[in-house]
Structure 1
Amino acid sequence: MGGRAPLFNFTVVAETPTDEDAFTQGFFYANDTFYISTGNVPLPGTPPASTPPDTSSMRRVEPSTGKVLRKVTVGSSHFGEGSTLVHDELAMISWRTQAAWTFDPVSLAITGNWSYEGEGWGIAWDGDEAVYLSNGSSTIQVLHPSNYTTGVPVRTFEVTNAGMPIRRLNELEVVCGELWANVWLTTVIVRIDPVTGRVVGALDMARLLTRMTEAGVWGADKRESGSAVLNGIAWDRGGRPAAAAAATNGTEHSGGAAVTAPRLWVTGKWWPRVFEITVDDPAVDWGACAALKGAGLP
């Protein structure tokens, strides 16, 4: 069974603004852009309304400024949840209506509809053979990217730490071959072996809340709402040619061509900041992540 997974430290590399009115449910990086999907929770202090606000959306966001480049809503009858890139299209799920959508990654035009059984919380693609879907329990469904829009899993697995189920798994991201998940209502991210479901490490982001509060950038109404929790992991595994990479955050191949280095960001619901972080885990060769194949299928 083994002992509990270790807790790893992290370092904040940079922080950038983002729309603090966005109830962030899904968060990922692709095409040099942040993609953020949001839910339709009324803002604190908003007068009660007969219908929920039409704020469940898919957004393209400029990473350096937090500027929303484009936004498409999916209707107030749906509570938007997680999102991811699958091949050349975006996928977004909803909470309890079993409704899901695909989008063009540039225009954000809705290109299709699909569904699945149960609740939808988080979704992530490993870039290879697995699309992961969470539902707020300790169980992860694994769909195949060639037919994930059928909503039929090829397998499921339970996430455990020292043999104990880890429930309330929320937003997902595949990071350097591991499946990472926010644990709802906590400041914890768990790092999961996507084959066995075993938690192999964890991060506690509590000091990010203190950092935003002490900087005076986080409104008390949101901060004290109880809903503005950690929720959002975005990963750029790097390895792409970039003319300026050697002068900024890139590395050099033996042939001399500059490539981008891996980058990792976190954020939360109604958070005013996105944080770029590095994780202090000497057992992981973060620079080699670009060469990794996806994992998750036997």
Structure 2
Amino acid sequence: MKNSAILISILVLLFLTLSCANDYKFSLEKPNKVVINESITIKLIEKNNKAVDKIQFYVNGKEIASNGNLVNINTSDLGVGKHAINALAFYDGRTKKENGFIEVFAKNKPTIYKYKIINEYPHDSKAYTQGLEYYNGFLYETTGRRGQSTLRKVAIKTGEVLQKVNLDKKYFGEGMTIVNNKIIWLTWENKKGFVYDLETFKQEKEFSYDQSKQGWGLTHSETELIKSDGTNKIWFLDNETLKEKRSIQIYTNDRSVNHLNELELVNGKIYANKYQKNTLAIIDAKTGIVEGLGDLRGLEKEMAKTQKLVANDEVLNGIAYDAENNRLFVTGKNWSKLFEIELIKQ
């Protein structure tokens, strides 16, 4: 009996010790939705007012300076999108981590644009358009689907395919762009791209992209490739190494914008097709804010005058810009027309 009483006493003492040690209850206090450029305060509260030795705060995995149990953040330093917030508390020889996020939105609604058709040109109705680019008076185009993916040089006025090469049938071709007399072409699910000589269409090398989800659209600035992956993210790759460097999230004042597809850089803004929506998003390349939305749904009606679109994926896709003559071209998957349009602010 004596030994049993001692054992019970030890167990009770151990239970009380563990109960006291576990009597720390933390709460991460923060706003969930904020507007870009707002300053916010995030706090880690110990609900029972117990002493805490130290608290460390992290935003997107990077530690930031704190003031005791709180931290002040200017959302302009983060950009729009979802951002991970973590607080690590040190107490009584233990640690406790609280996780959360904040979602940053644009301040203003996007400007809405209608369009005016300037010209119509023939386009190969068998071309499942994935990438489109204007270069030195010609259109360069990539098409998709396994076994049907091609790279083409096209005469604008006639739609004639002047040069063509097929992609290996195991790949599903996606967007392309032209940099330093090289054509860079993405594939969809293989996390792999290819580099071709502009003049000969000879494949010279391949490269991989490991951070983004898939390969969708592609364009470029003077220093970087700009890539979509079907999500609400835009990725930036080094022009020389073709390695992914960073990404931005694409947001309006009230939502994220996903399914971003074909891309074109126009006067410093990223123009992006939103897959299956016949909408053109105009995006600030630095912040990810959608500044404008081009409503191009009426082009389907124009197509219906001469062609019946039978598949639900025969949608707007393909943007090319002639900077010298300020011409904007758009087409769609299996569309028999290429449109030169002018966007008109509403």
Is the Cα contact below 8 Å between 1:124 and 1:132 reproduced in 2?
A: yes
Equivalent residue for 2:131?
26
1:194 to 278, 285, 288: 285
Distance 1:125 1:181 in 2: 13
Q: Deviations over 1:219-247 (max 9, x none)?
A: x3xx1210100000001111xxxxxxxxx
Cα shift at 1:111? 1.6
Equivalent residue for 1:295?
none
Amino acid in structure 1 at the alignment position of 2:167: V
Equivalent residue for 2:301?
210
* Aligned pairs, number: 239
Report which of the two structures shows the higher radius of gyration computed on alpha carbons.
2
Equivalent residue for 2:171?
78
Is the Cα contact below 8 Å between 1:55 and 1:75 reproduced in 2?
A: no
- The TM-score, its normalising length taken from structure 2, stands at 0.67
Equivalent residue for 2:218?
123
Amino acid in structure 2 at the alignment position of 1:25: Q
Equivalent residue for 1:225?
311
Equivalent residue for 2:330?
266
Residues 1-298 of structure 1 mapped to structure 2, 5 A cutoff: 1=35, 2-40=107-145, 52=146, 54-117=147-210, 118-126=213-221, 128-148=222-242, 152-214=243-305, 216=306, 218=307, 220=308, 223-238=309-324, 261-281=325-345
Amino acid in structure 2 at the alignment position of 1:129: T
Cα shift at 1:72? 0.6
Amino acid in structure 1 at the alignment position of 2:166: T
- The TM-score, its normalising length taken from structure 1, stands at 0.78
Distance 1:161 1:226 in 2: 26
Cα shift at 1:125? 0.7
Distance 1:134 1:203 in 2: 18
Distance 1:146 1:94 in 2: 19
Distance 1:164 1:25 in 2: 26
Distance 2:207 2:171 in 1: 14
Q: Is there any run of 5+ residues in structure 2 with no aligned partner, and where?
A: 1-34, 36-106
Cα shift at 1:146? 2.3
Distance 2:202 2:161 in 1: 16
Please identify runs of 4+ aligned residues in structure 1 that moved more than 4 A.
none
Is the Cα contact below 8 Å between 1:78 and 1:99 reproduced in 2?
A: no
Relative contact order, CA 8 A, sep 6+: which one is greater? 1
More off after superposition, 59-68 vs 97-106: 97-106
Cα shift at 1:281? 4.2
Paired residue secondary structure (1:35): strand
Cα shift at 1:99? 2.2
Distance 1:77 1:59 in 2: 19
Distance 1:36 1:131 in 2: 17
Q: Percent identity?
A: 31
Q: Is there any run of 5+ residues in structure 1 with no aligned partner, and where?
A: 41-51, 239-260, 283-298
